Amino acid sequence: MSVVPTWLAAVAKQRGDAGLVNQFLVNHSTNLVWSNGVIQDGQQTGTGTYIDTLNQWLAISTTTGASQTVLGSVSIQVSTFGGSPTLPLIPSLTVSLYADAAGLPTGSALASATVSSNYVYSAPFWVSIPLTATVTPSTVYHYVIAITGTANHYFLLQKSNQLTGAATSPDGVTWTSSTFGLMYRTYDASAGGQLNSVTEDSGNLLINYTYNALSQITGYTQFTLAQDGTFLQTSGTITYTNGLPTGVS
């Protein structure tokens, strides 16, 4: 059974987010994530051990490339506990970018993105977060994952084989360095190849695309945040005959 979120009427002088009925009446901040953005930094070897988002905020340190001025996206190894794509019992996953002070996050978020837990699976895999921001080359930043979940429904992040790089916090303000790292990939905003996803309003609207061997779009999945805090998930499939689109379902 599909869940229909609560759509509220537009409110005068309030911004038009993706989930509002007046969303087409205002400008929207849109980010495009391409398939061949260059990996500028990352830890891609896992240990098969995990840490949860139930009891703490988590942070991952990253260093921008020598000539990198724009962050295009970040991928993290994340899975769900107690939920699935068809059973969205876990709140949405929010990842933010923070500046560095003595190896730990500091200040306010420089950028944030939120994706529905429907987009995260029970088995570990790379989840692409459309986190776009202007950055300084060769500079340390931190990805911060907000504390999320209930006793039986939360996210798990896979630890990397590094002995440094991660930090934890009980409140998102006071941080403690950890003796492990977390798996991640930092991408720049190089355009080209296939368009993997489009996001608006800091993740309130996220559209992911799939392709066939001829690089034709064969499907999409869209997550739209409603004002009641739930995500509406819709999807479609495009079929082709002799290379031409012949159906949409």
Q: What is the pLDDT of residues 189-229, one digit of tens each?
A: 776 567 777 777 766 777 878 788 777 888 887 877 776 66
How far the first Cα of the chain sits from its last, in Å, is 18
Distance CA(62)–CA(184), nearest Å, equals 9
Q: What mean pLDDT value characterizes the chain? A: 82
- The answer to whether residue 26 scores a pLDDT higher than 60 is no
If 0-12 CB within 10 Å is exposed, 13-18 middle and 19+ buried, where does residue 19 land?
buried
- The answer to whether residue 13 scores a pLDDT higher than 80 is no
% of the chain surpassing 70 pLDDT: 77
Pick the CATH number of 1-36+192-249 from 1.20.1070, 2.40.128, 3.90.320, 2.60.120: 2.40.128
> For residue 5, what are the CA distances in angstroms to 115, 132, 233?
16, 27, 10
Class of domain 38-191: mainly beta
Q: What is the mean pLDDT of residues 154-163?
A: 93
Same fold, 1-36+192-249 and 38-191: no
Q: What is the mean pLDDT of residues 60-75?
A: 92
Which has the closest alpha carbon to 51: 153, 148, 158, 147?
158
Lowest mean pLDDT among 2-6, 64-68, 90-94, 202-206: 2-6
**Residue 190's pLDDT is what?**
74
- The answer to whether residue 75 scores a pLDDT higher than 60 is yes
Assessment of whether the complete model's pTM goes beyond 0.85: no
**Residue 180's pLDDT is what?**
96
> For residue 122, what are the CA distances in angstroms to 38, 93, 105, 119, 208?
27, 14, 29, 10, 19
Q: Name the band, by pLDDT with cuts 50, 70 and 90, for residue 240.
A: confident
**Residue 110's pLDDT is what?**
94
For the chain, which residues make up each domain, given as ranges? 1-36+192-249, 38-191
Provide the residue count of the chain. 249
